[in-house]
Chains A and B, each alone.
Chain A
Amino acid sequence: MNVVQLPPRRKLGKIHVPTVTLAHGGGGKAMKDLIDDVFISAFAGASAPALEDQARFDLAALAVHGDRLAFTTDSFVIDPLEFPGGDIGKLAVCGTVNDLAVGGAKPLYLSCAVIVEEGVSLDMLRRLALSMAKTATDAGVGIVTGDTKVVPRGAADKLFITTTGIGVIPKGRDISVSRAQPGDGVLVNGWLGDHGAAILAARGDLALDADIQSDCAPLHGLIEALLCAAPGTRFIRDATRGGLATVLNEVAEASNVSILIAEDQTPLRPEVCGVCEILGLDPLYLANEGKIVIVVPPDEIPAALAAMRVHPLGEKAALIGHIGDGEAGRVVMKTVFGGSRIVDMLVGEQLPRIC
Chain B
Amino acid sequence: MKFAHEFRDAEKARILIREIEKLADEIEITRTRPINIMEVCGGHTHSIFRYGIETMLPKTIELIHGPGCPVCVLPMGRVDDCVVIAENPGVIFTTFGDAMRVPGSKKSLLQAKAEGADVRMVYSPMDALQLARKNPDNEVVFFALGFETTMPSTALTLLQAQAENIKNFSVFCNHITIVPTIKAVLDSPDLHLDGFLGPGHVSMVVGTAPYDFVADFYSRPVVVAGFEPLDILQSIWMLLKQIQDGRAEVENQYTRIVPEDGNDPALAAIGKVYELREFFEWRGLGSIDHSGVKIRDAYADFDAERKFDIPNAKIADPKSCQCGEVLKGVLKPWQCKVFGTTCTPATPLGALMVSPEGACAAYYQYGGITRQKTGAA
The residues of A with any CB-CB pair to B shorter than 8 Å are 205-207, 270, 273-274, 277, 279-280, 282, 330, 332, 334-342, 344, 347-348, 351-355
Given contacts A336-B10, A337-B8, contact A348 B101 (CB under 8 A): yes
Q: Which of B43, B123, B127, B149 has the most CB of A within 10 A?
A: B123
B98 at the interface (CB under 8 A from A): yes
27 contacts between A and B (CB under 8 A): A205-B122, A270-B1, A274-B1, A277-B4, A335-B50, A335-B52, A337-B8, A337-B9, A338-B13, A339-B55, A339-B229, A340-B55, A341-B50, A341-B55, A344-B366, A344-B368, A347-B345, A347-B346, A351-B100, A351-B121, A352-B123, A353-B46, A353-B356, A354-B97, A355-B43, A355-B70, A355-B201
B52–A280 CB distance below 8 A: no
B365 at the interface (CB under 8 A from A): yes
A340–B145 CB distance below 8 A: no
Q: Which residues of B contact A339 (CB under 8 A)?
A: 51-56, 229
Q: Which residues of A contact B229 (CB under 8 A)?
A: 337, 339
Closest B residue to A351 by CB, please name it: B97
Given contacts A205-B127, A206-B123, A342-B365, contact A351 B52 (CB under 8 A): no
Q: Which residues of A contact B53 (CB under 8 A)?
A: 337, 339
Give min CB distance, A168 to chain B, whole Å: 39
Give min CB distance, B126 to chain A, whole Å: 9
Give min CB distance, A266 to chain B, whole Å: 14
Cα distance A342–B363 in the bound complex, in angstroms: 9
Give min CB distance, B84 to chain A, whole Å: 21
Instruction: Sort A-B residue pairs by CB-CB distance and give the 6 closest, nearest first.
Output: A339-B52, A351-B97, A342-B368, A347-B345, A352-B97, A338-B10
Q: Which of A330, A340, A344, A355 has the most CB of B within 10 A?
A: A355
A341–B145 CB distance below 8 A: no
Closest A residue to B8 by CB, please name it: A337
| Number of A-B pairs, beta carbon distance below 8 Å | 101
B1–A273 CB distance below 8 A: yes
Cα distance A315–B317 in the bound complex, in angstroms: 53
Given contacts A353-B46, A354-B150, contact A344 B1 (CB under 8 A): no
Closest A residue to B348 by CB, please name it: A347
Give min CB distance, B373 to chain A, whole Å: 10
Cα distance A335–B101 in the bound complex, in angstroms: 28
Closest A residue to B364 by CB, please name it: A344
Closest B residue to A327 by CB, please name it: B368
Q: Name the one of B96, B344, B367 contacting A354, with C-beta atoms under 8 angstroms.
A: B96
Q: Which of A274, A341, A344 has the most CB of B within 10 A?
A: A341
A355–B150 CB distance below 8 A: yes
> Which residues 43-75 in B have Cβ within 8 Å of A in the complex?
43, 46, 49-56, 70-71
Closest A residue to B361 by CB, please name it: A347
Given contacts A280-B46, A338-B14, contact A330 B123 (CB under 8 A): no
Given contacts A338-B13, A347-B345, contact A354 B145 (CB under 8 A): yes
B146 at the interface (CB under 8 A from A): yes
Q: Which residues of A contact B13 (CB under 8 A)?
A: 337-338
Q: Which residues of A contact B344 (CB under 8 A)?
A: 347
A351–B365 CB distance below 8 A: no
B295 at the interface (CB under 8 A from A): no
Interface string of B244-278 (1 = CB under 8 A from A): 00000000000000000000000000000000000
Q: Which residues of A contact B1 (CB under 8 A)?
A: 270, 273-274, 277
> Which residues 100-121 in B have Cβ within 8 Å of A in the complex?
100-101, 121
Give min CB distance, B358 to chain A, whole Å: 11
> Which residues 11-47 in B have Cβ within 8 Å of A in the complex?
13-14, 43, 46
Q: Which residues of A contact B54 (CB under 8 A)?
A: 339
Q: Which residues of B contact A334 (CB under 8 A)?
A: 52
Q: Which residues of A contact B356 (CB under 8 A)?
A: 280, 353
> Which residues 277-328 in B have Cβ within 8 Å of A in the complex?
none
B51–A335 CB distance below 8 A: yes
Q: Which residues of A contact B367 (CB under 8 A)?
A: 341-342
B96–A352 CB distance below 8 A: yes
Give min CB distance, B53 to chain A, whole Å: 6
A279–B51 CB distance below 8 A: no
Give min CB distance, B376 to chain A, whole Å: 19
Closest A residue to B355 by CB, please name it: A353
Q: Which of A270, A340, A347 has the most CB of B within 10 A?
A: A347
B10–A354 CB distance below 8 A: no
Give min CB distance, B95 to chain A, whole Å: 9
Give min CB distance, B68 to chain A, whole Å: 10
Q: Which residues of B contact A351 (CB under 8 A)?
A: 97-98, 100-101, 121
Given contacts A277-B4, A353-B355, contact A341 B98 (CB under 8 A): no
Give min CB distance, A276 to chain B, whole Å: 10
Q: Which of A352, A353, A354 has the most CB of B within 10 A?
A: A354
